[in-house]
Amino acid sequence: MKIIKYLISALYIFLLCFVAGCVDLDYSEVTTDDEAWVYASPTNGIQRLVTDIYAQIPFDFGYFDGAMLSSASDESDYARSLSNIHKFYNGAWSTINPFDSTWRNSYSAIAEANIFLEKIGKISLDEYKYSGIAYDIMKAKFEKFPYEVRFLRAYFYFELAKTYGDVPLVTKSLTAEEANNVSRTPVKDVFQFIVDECDAIAQYLPITYAAEPSQETGRASRPMALALKARTLLYAASPLFNPSNDAELWHKAAAANKAVLDNAATWGISLGAYSALWGDQSFLNPEIFFIRPAGNSQEDSGWGNNFERYNFPVGVENGNSGNCPTQSLVDAYEYKSTGISFGDTWNGSVNVTAENPYSGLDPRFGLTVVKNGDSWPVYNSLPIETFEGGLNASPLYGATTTGYYLKKYCDQGVYITTNYTTAARHSWIVFRLSEFYLNYAEAVYNYLKNADATNAEFSLSANAAINVLRDRPDVMMPHFSGNGNFTERYTRERMVELAFEGHRFWDVRRWKKGNDFFTNVKVAKITKDGSGNVILQRDVKTRLWDEKYNLFPIPFTEMQKNHNLTQNAGW
């Protein structure tokens, strides 16, 4: 078994890039050493390098000054005006203000991955055979590292491709001159690289690490590799990247997502309660098979209470409001009795006191959204009041701008009171089984052109795939049936099921539907009349949308360094 002898210092890369502003594609601006290397031993160095690549997997527990990407979509509105999130739609987004973290972080991780893979065969572990170290355990773990790193490299290329489209595809270390002369690779070729890598490495990755000596969670596995392939092919088939609507791309996407569904039971992956998707023990949920721990300082343990501080309602002790669910999101929830959405049932103003329009809604609503009158969180003894002048409403600074507060991903058992503070583990969902039922439904519908259609290859129809999710014991919503308005119904279902999990911002872009969903975001203006009735009136927040927003701009600083880079259209 061959292992690296000369490794780069991940810490040094980070500091050099941060302080000196090095070219992100310049993989040569690193130092190497041998036995005097910065880490205590080659084995620790290898471990730390791989861990550092893992650590750059993105998560979104309020990345933008507390705001989530959901607040740059129609899922939520960020109540505090100073957050950078508002630049996505107020005209301040540009090549000079490019939101370039995906570019920087992804290429930093890819740089480490490329050097790791080039140097992996330069020493053996023979010198450890007769030491006190558990040699066989160490050897088995290190044998998996190259496949884990290849998965991570593919994952970061997916992040780049969905964000920028065409990007430089580099799979080796470069000199400074080479790095500053790379060109963008067509996105279809980047997608194909990801798919090919996933196919090549899947068989060498374990299904689970439960039987491994260290039993670590979050490490690359076979289900993760095939899920990355499936998600990638869905994006490749979508209108943004498939302008000719090539049916074969939808076929490939359907087949890849079907493979995840077909193997899930064998892998030990199964659907569970919607309410168990977040919370202290969510990392043990059998539905979730790729999770990113995240805490106050983004430490691996994931313990913290920042997310609660950002999102507990104003008026609750030390709550700062934050990502407030929109009426657009609330309108997507359907009634259990009719299957008709809130938005289609209540079009104008609603006397909430007299009508109680939230009664009988999809249970996922109550698990995701805090509404007027709810008891939230545990330590708050008074019902939430989101009507104007209420305990948790305007004119209080930072109060909800939509009439609602966020519940999903918040741990209501966390205390952030001045005299008593607790924390909880927070785990960001990257892959869970429900996504792949939805992915499959979208792909097979677009391939077979009928929501009830099946064939010899695809025995599960688009409607049937969605009904699997709606049949969960704590959801139990009416079945999808028929072909009418499938795209509209599917779009609502995906919004509801995956709310605040980082999908909506990208889904609307890959569908090229920004003008439809992101320009006029509905919110609720809630008041109390003279008789004490709570009245919901609809309002609209108008946001700027331009078709160029489907893809991020290549950062101006990168264009200056490398004149072979071309800019995305419109930027």
Tokens of 462: 């688009």
Angle subtended at Cα 145 by Cα 104 and Cα 10, rounded to the nearest 5 degrees: 35
Mean pLDDT for the stretch of residues 326-353: 96
In-domain check, residue 413: yes
Contact 336, 470 (CB under 8 A): no
**Tally of domains within the chain:** 3
Indicate the residue type of 365.
Answer: F
Provide the pLDDT for residue 129: 74
Could you tell me the CATH number of the domain that includes residue 521? Answer: 1.25.40.390
Contact 327, 524 (CB under 8 A): yes
CA distance 512 to 187: 16
SS3 344: helix
In-domain check, residue 513: yes
In-domain check, residue 552: yes
Angle subtended at Cα 168 by Cα 97 and Cα 194, rounded to the nearest 5 degrees: 110
36 & 143 share domain: yes
527 & 472 share domain: no
Q: How does pLDDT run across 368-383, given as a tens digit for each residue?
A: 999 999 999 999 999 9
Beta bridge partners, 304, equal: 424
Q: How does pLDDT run across 137-180, given as a tens digit for each residue?
A: 777 788 899 999 999 999 999 999 999 999 999 999 988 889 89
112 & 24 share domain: yes
Contact 27, 173 (CB under 8 A): yes
DSSP 106-172: HHHHHHHHHHHHHHTTSEESGGGTTSSS-HHHHHHHHHHHHHHHHHHHHHHHHHHHHHHSSB----S
Provide the pLDDT for residue 176: 86
Strands 405-406 and 520-528: unpaired
CA distance 548 to 502: 20
Under DSSP, the state recorded for 85 is G
Provide the pLDDT for residue 295: 55
In-domain check, residue 127: yes
Of 414, 445, 476, which residue constitutes the final position of a domain?
Answer: 476
Cα-Cα-Cα-Cα dihedral sign, residues 288, 293, 296, 301: positive
543 & 471 share domain: no
HSE-up of residue 316 (Cα within 13 Å, Cβ side): 30
Of 205, 240, 260, which residue constitutes the final position of a domain?
Answer: 205
Provide the pLDDT for residue 418: 96
Provide the pLDDT for residue 32: 40
433 & 408 share domain: no
Beta bridge partners, 123, equal: 3
414 & 430 share domain: no
Provide the pLDDT for residue 48: 80
247 & 390 share domain: no
Mean pLDDT for the stretch of residues 44-53: 82
Tokens of 568: 């995305």
Name the least confident of 178-192, 206-220, 555-569.
206-220
Residue 347: pLDDT band with limits 50, 70, 90: confident
In-domain check, residue 60: no
Range of the domain at 35: 2-55+100-205
Q: How does pLDDT run across 262-311, given as a tens digit for each residue?
A: 999 999 999 999 999 999 889 889 999 999 988 544 344 568 999 999 99
Which phi and psi angles does 12 have, rounded to 5°? -65, -40
192 Cβ partners below 8 Å, 6+ apart? none
Evaluate if residue 508 carries a pLDDT over 90. yes
Residue position matching structure tokens 């946001």: 543
Q: How does pLDDT run across 54-84, given as a tens digit for each residue?
A: 999 999 999 998 999 999 999 999 999 999 9
315 & 179 share domain: no
CA distance 384 to 110: 46
315 & 436 share domain: no
CA distance 183 to 177: 13
Tokens of 268: 């030990």
Tokens of 242: 């498939």
Mean pLDDT for the stretch of residues 441-445: 98
Higher pLDDT pick, 83 / 2: 83
In-domain check, residue 168: yes
Evaluate if residue 111 carries a pLDDT over 50. yes
Q: What phi-psi label fits residue 374: left (phi over 0), alpha (psi between -120 and 50 degrees) or beta?
A: beta
401 & 437 share domain: no
335 & 400 share domain: yes
Q: Which residues of 164-196 are buried (b: 16+ CB within 10 A; e: fewer)?
A: bbbbbbbeebbeeeebbbbebbebeebbbbbbe
121 & 7 share domain: yes
Contact 236, 253 (CB under 8 A): yes
In-domain check, residue 415: yes
Question: Chain-centre distance of CA 431, in angstroms?
Answer: 8
pLDDT cut 90: percent of the chain above it: 80
294 Cβ partners below 8 Å, 6+ apart? 59, 61, 302, 304, 426, 427, 428
In-domain check, residue 396: yes
Residue 265, Cβ neighbours under 10 Å: how many? 9
